Structure 1
C-alpha cells in the first residue's frame, strides 16, 4: 500500500512538500521553500528530507516559492529527474526561480559587505546556475490530460484558479487515488476562471491558508479606493508590496477599473519589480492567446492591465528615482511579504513619512516584515537597521488570490467524501478550524497532519 509523508506545509503556510511512495516509485508533490520565521528558514539549509536516489518525479502545483522554491536545492544535491507542471507554471516558475537565486546571491553579497550576517562568509542557498538547471527539468502538461509520471503513478491536472498555471493534482497510485489542492483561487478572481471541481478520491489534501477567515470583496474595494484618495489628498504615495506573480496583475486590473469608474484619481502607477514585469508579459501573452484559464471578458478591448499612466521600472536607477516620490503616485513592488527585493528600498524611504501609505494586499506569513506591519510594528529592521513606521498601514485581505474559508469548504465538499481529508498549508488555528468544519458540518474524517507524519493512502 502507498504511503504519504508530510515534509512541509503541515502546521505552517510554507514549504509545501508531500512525498508519495508506492513501494516501487516515489513522487514529490510540490517542492516549496520555507519562508517566514527563522526556525523555518533554517530548515532550507538542512540535508533534503528524502532519498534523492529513490525520487522518481516532482509535481508542481504552481509557481509560488513556497511550492517550487526548494527545487534548485534538490538540483544542487544532484537530483535530475522530471518535474511535471502546467505550461503556465513552467513559464512563471522559470522567472520565479531565477529571481529567487538572484536575490539570494545579492543578499549574501550585501551581508558580507556590510557585516550584518552571523555567518562568515554569508552564502546563498542556491545560485542562478542551480535555478537554470532546475527549470530545464520541467515537463509541461495540459489540464485534464492523464499522464504516467512514474511506475504505477498517473497524474492529472485541473485548474485551481490561484495564479496562471495553478492546478490541483489528481494522482492515481494503483487502485487508490489522491487529490492535492495546491493553493486554491477564488471564484471572483479578477483575471482567472474559478477552480475546476475535484474528482472523487480516497484521500484529499486541502490547503487552509484562510481556513478561519472570510473575504469581503465589496468592502475591500471601497477601502482600497478611499485609501488611495486619502493618501493622494495629503500629498503622499501608496506603496503596495505585492507578489510579483498574479497579485501585481490583479492589482493593476483593479486600479484600471477604479480609474475608469472615476473612483480614484488618475495617478502614475509604477511597477517596480523585474520579476513582476516578466510575469506581466506572461499574463499578457496568455490573454492574447486566449488560454482557457483567462476570464473571457479580458480577451477583448483595451489592455486590462493598464490603469492609464502605467510605467514599468526595469533598471535599478529607475527604481531609486521612485524611492522618494515628490508627487502622489502608486508603487507596486515585490516581494509581497517584504522579505526581499526592491520593495525594501521603498519601505526604507517611505515608512518614516506619515504622508505615505503601505497597503498589504495578501497573506503575510509569521516572521515576515509584512506580518510585522500588519501587527502594528512601530519599527522594522531592513538591511541591518531599524526603520521607524510613521506611514499609514492598510490591510486588504480580499485581494488575496487564496480562497477564503467558505470557498475552501465549497470546493472540498463539491465532490464525494474522501476516506480522509488532510488539512494542510495553514497556520494551526486556520487548519484546525477548517478541519472541524469538515467534520461537524459534513461528517468527514478530517485531520491536521503533523510535520513529518507518515500515513497510509
Structure 2
C-alpha cells in the first residue's frame, strides 16, 4: 500500500487548510478550509476541486474556524457525499459558523450588486445558507481520546489542541499490508496557560507530523494580556472615546469577555456597557454551558455573580436594528464584534462609523493575516477601503498579541518536544512563509527533525509498500 498527501491549502499560507490523504483504496481530506486574506488567495475558493468529489470518501476536521471548515458547503454542493468527522463541540460550532458564513456571502454579493463595486456584472455568493445547511446531516460527532474507525485500515483519535472549544489535534493510524504508520496533525494549537481551555495534549509518537506555524517566528510578550487590554481601554476612555474590539466569534470573543469581566470586578477598568454585537458569537458563547467538559470554567459558571458571560454590563445584540442603534452611542463603551480580522461581519460597519474619529480606539486581539483589513490597520495604513469607500483612519489602533489563541514559538516547540522519537518528516504548515521557515529551521536545529515546507498543490508520497 502507498500513502500520499496533496496540499490543497494551508501551505505557505495561514489560511485554507486542506490536506488530501490517499491510501490507494481510500481518499479522505483533513480539514476543508476557506481561503482568506489576499485576493489571489480568496480566488482559490472558486477553483475546481482537483478530483471528482464523489470519489473522496470522508473528511476529518480539526476545529470549527472557517479557515478549516469554510469550504464544506461548496464541496458538498459539488458532489461530496461522505461522512464529516469532528469533535462534538466542533459539530455544533460548525453549524453556527457555516450558517453565518453563508449569510455573509449572500449579503456581500447582494451589497456588491447594489453598489456596483464588484468586478462582476452579477456577483454571486460562494455559497448560500441553504448550501451550508446541507452539510449538517453529514457531520459525525466523536468524543475526545476515543479511537474510531473511518475505514477498515484507518483509526482516528482526537486530542485536545486548546485553540478553541472543541479544537483537536488528530492522530491517524493507517494499517498497511505489513506495518502500521501514524500521522499526526497538530491542528491549530492553543496557549498552554489559557484561563478557559485545556492545554494541547502531548502525543508521544508519529511517523509523519503536520505542525502549524502561525506564530512560528515570534514569542508572546511577557506582559499579561489582560494588563495590555486594560491599558488600551483606559487610554481610549481618557480621550472620551469608544472601544471597538474585532474578535473571532469562537474562542477569542469568550476569552475577551472573561478578561473584561475580571478587569471590571477588580476595578482595573470602569464598569461600562459591553455590547456583544454578533449573533454568531452569542450562539457560540451559549455552547460553553453545553460542553462544560471541554473547558476549565465549570466552577465559575456555577456562581451566578461570577459568570463572565452573564452580568449587568454585558448586553447581547442579536438583531441588526440593535447593531445600527450603536451608531448613535456616545461616551465610554466597548463594542465586541466579528470578524477578528475585520474581513466581514458587523464589525466592518462599526469601523466604517468610528475609524474617522481620533477619540476612538480599535483593539485587535489576535493574528492578522496578510492582506486582511485588520492587517492593514495594524500596519498603520492611513485610509482603508470599506463598502467601496475610502475611510480615513484617525482612531488609535492597538494590537495585543498575547490574547491570540495560537501557540507562540516556545509553545509550538514544547508540543514538538512531546514526541519521544523523531518523525520521518514534519510538514510545517498553516503559517506565512517567514513564520514557517523560522519554525522549520528551529525544529531541524534543536530537535534534529527533517522539516519540509510544502507548496500549494504539491503532492508527496509518504510511504511506499507498507
Matched, 1:388 2:392: yes
* Runs of 4+, deviation exceeding 6 Å: none
User: In structure 1, what is the Cα distance between the partners aligned to 2:111 and 2:222?
Assistant: 40
User: In structure 1, what is the Cα distance between the partners aligned to 2:142 and 2:386?
Assistant: 41
Kindly provide the CA deviation profile for residues 251-277 of structure 1, in whole angstroms up to 9, marking residues without a partner as x: 000001111111111110000011111
After superposition, where does 1:25-174 map in structure 2 within 5 Å?
A: 25-174=26-175
Residue equivalent to 1:312: 316
Residue equivalent to 2:460: 455
Residue equivalent to 1:275: 280
> How many aligned positions are there?
454
After superposition, where does 1:387-406 map in structure 2 within 5 Å?
A: 387-406=391-410
Shift of 1:37: 0.3
Kindly provide the CA deviation profile for residues 98-121 of structure 1, in whole angstroms up to 9, marking residues without a partner as x: 000000000011111111111110
Mapped contact 1:208–1:425 kept (Cα < 8 A): yes
SS of 1:250's equivalent in the other structure is helix
TM-score under structure 1 length normalisation: 0.97
- Say if 1:188 and 1:285 are closer, same or farther in 2 by CA, change over 3 A: same
SS of 1:386's equivalent in the other structure is strand
More deviation, 369-378/193-202? 193-202
Residue equivalent to 1:445: 450
SS of 1:277's equivalent in the other structure is helix
Shift of 1:304: 2.6
Shift of 1:219: 4.4
Residue equivalent to 1:238: 243
Residue equivalent to 1:6: 7
TM-score under structure 2 length normalisation: 0.95
Mapped contact 1:25–1:152 kept (Cα < 8 A): no
Shift of 1:21: 0.5
**Which of 356, 361, 383 is the matching residue for 1:352?**
356
Residue equivalent to 2:372: 368
SS of 1:455's equivalent in the other structure is strand
User: In structure 2, what is the Cα distance between the partners aligned to 1:136 and 1:363?
Assistant: 32
Mapped contact 2:54–2:81 kept (Cα < 8 A): no
Shift of 1:308: 4.2
Shift of 1:442: 1.1
Mapped contact 1:255–1:307 kept (Cα < 8 A): no
Residue equivalent to 1:252: 257
**Which of 426, 432, 439 is the matching residue for 2:431?**
426
Mapped contact 1:241–1:337 kept (Cα < 8 A): yes
User: In structure 2, what is the Cα distance between the partners aligned to 1:253 and 1:433?
Assistant: 33
SS of 1:187's equivalent in the other structure is coil
Residue equivalent to 1:410: 414
Residue equivalent to 1:202: 207
Shift of 1:419: 1.2
Mapped contact 2:146–2:158 kept (Cα < 8 A): yes
User: In structure 2, what is the Cα distance between the partners aligned to 1:357 and 1:257?
Assistant: 21
User: In structure 2, what is the Cα distance between the partners aligned to 1:202 and 1:308?
Assistant: 52
User: In structure 2, what is the Cα distance between the partners aligned to 1:273 and 1:76?
Assistant: 27
